[in-house]
Structure 1
Amino acid sequence: MSALPDPVWPVLVLALIQVVDGILCLRPVAFIARCFEDVHFPRRYWWVMAPLKFAAAAGLIAGIWIPYLGVITCLALVLYFLLAISGHLRARDFGRNLFLNATGMLVICILTPLASFVW
């Protein structure tokens, strides 16, 4: 079994999601700004989110050729979304941001490296 992803498409889809999310976080669009506010994420740190998303996308793309980098990046994204979910729970934000966005992304990040075993 190879340490490189096969098939590659789940990694590319997750990387594309991260790029789009990074673009939306550059100057947070209304629904992202509202999400940050709902979980009481300090405004002075909002700028960090876009570079994190772009770094995740870069790690996923590079992981296509660098063994285990994609898996490590997926694990980092799993941790990120676990922290996001805990932030939503702590803020009692039980709406769309928790159940659709954060939990949905957690599932995608968990399934992406597992796709190599399924296909």
Structure 2
Amino acid sequence: MRIELTGVFVHDQAQALAFYTDVLGFQTRHDIPLGQDRWLTVVSPEDPDGPELLLEPSHHPAVKPYRDALMADGIPLAQFAVDDVDTEHQRLTEAGVTFTVPPTDVGEAWIAVFDDTCGNLIQIISVKP
């Protein structure tokens, strides 16, 4: 068993695609029109054949209260691994990304949490050797 696809709900797929590619640095893997929405996935340029992140439309009525509760409690919807949290924090801050949790030593790893501008908090993590 392996993870090939996971997703985040986004309120605007075009805005999400711009953020996840232009700011975070992911690459578009699939962009297939499906009525008013798209089957829209991105991948890491470091592993272009690896797991895909689906930028899922957030139209379902259960999504808003779910995401609102996570945001209110400061809980990230997804977590991405980075080589160095401090370096990534600096790069993303310079790109205008808003962090809700600055780089923080949590014992076995360093973390930071940012707002993806699409309705989600995202955590970055670098595990200590």
TM class by smaller structure: 0.3 to 0.5
Structure-1-length-normalised TM-score: 0.35
More helix by share: 1
More strand by share: 2
What TM-score do the two structures reach when normalised by structure 2?
0.33
Structure with the larger RCO, 1 or 2 (CA within 8 Å, 6+ apart): 1
